[in-house]
Amino acid sequence: MENGLFSTDEFTAWSQKYVMFLHVTTRLEGRKHDGLLKEKRFTGFPTMCAMDVSGKVTAKHAGRRDLEPFAETLAKGRVYEALAKQAAAGDKTAQLDLFVKDLELRSYSYAHGMLRYAAMRTDMPKRLRESAQQHLVDLQYAELSRSVRATLATDREGYLKRWNALRLDFFRSGSLPSGYQGSSILRTVMNHARTEENVKLFAAALTKFKECFGSEERNGSRIEMLEKQLEEMRAK
């Protein structure tokens, strides 16, 4: 990135309006703030976000790394800060909206988020309840995934078994994380079903995949291939 947008005069001029902060995770023992990526509950790098003066994440950047998308992310951060001020002033609706936004930003652990949700859910309209529930599923899956990945270096064979078991458990529970993670779970389940020659499981996962991701143009050819695989399994 430093050889692209970040090295341009346009970015230099634009960045003068903001306080730019760069953190590099090195995993060097004793290095100050080296756990910042984990503390902010980010799952990969490079990660870009907007923060307020206290260091609180107010928006996470997704999409193109260009000035216009960056400006949109910062605008979302300002909306968050305005919402936080309303909530602090006692606005009950803003407090509910802020809680759901904080779940989306992963400002809570799963356990803490569940406790807060249990205390607030009766005051939430259906739209917010459904959004909070999905964010909690995403958060739970992220935390469990991290714990499984931590075993990779010491037990690769066991890691693969635990990884597949985690994804099967989420599918069978009926709670899928959103986006790529949900798609990945369904593909793992279908691969497992093919190996086990479990037609019923494969069909159920394929139905869910089409329901959740069938409208995405890039999945058209994938779905055709999966339907053909299902036909072949049924023909055996």
Per-residue pLDDT of 65-114, as tens digits, reads: 888 888 898 999 999 999 999 999 999 999 999 999 999 999 999 999 99
- 2, pLDDT greater than 70: no
What gap in Å lies between CA 143 and CA 110, rounded to an integer? 8
Least confident interval from 64-68, 95-99, 219-223, 226-230: 64-68
Q: Among residues 25, 38, 36, 82, which one has the least CA distance to residue 59?
A: 82
Provide the b/e sequence for 47-64 (b: ≥16 CB within 10 Å): ebbbeeeeebbbbbbeee
Return the higher-pLDDT residue of 228 and 3. Answer: 228
Give the residue carrying structure tokens 């964010």.
135
- Quick one: residue 30, left, alpha or beta (phi over 0 = left, psi -120 to 50 = alpha)? left
Across the range 25-45, mean pLDDT stands at 70
- Quick one: residue 28, left, alpha or beta (phi over 0 = left, psi -120 to 50 = alpha)? beta
Q: What is the pTM of this model?
A: 0.83
Cβ contact 128:100 at 8 Å? yes
Return the higher-pLDDT residue of 100 and 60. Answer: 100
pLDDT for 168-185, tens place per residue?
999 999 999 999 999 999
Across the range 19-33, mean pLDDT stands at 72
Q: Among residues 95, 167, 181, 171, which one has the least CA distance to residue 135?
A: 181
- 4, pLDDT greater than 80: no
- Bond preceding residue 46 cis, omega within 30 of 0: yes
pLDDT tier for residue 201 given thresholds of 50, 70 and 90: very high
Q: Among residues 120, 114, 115, which one has the least CA distance to residue 94?
A: 120
Name the residue type at position 186: L
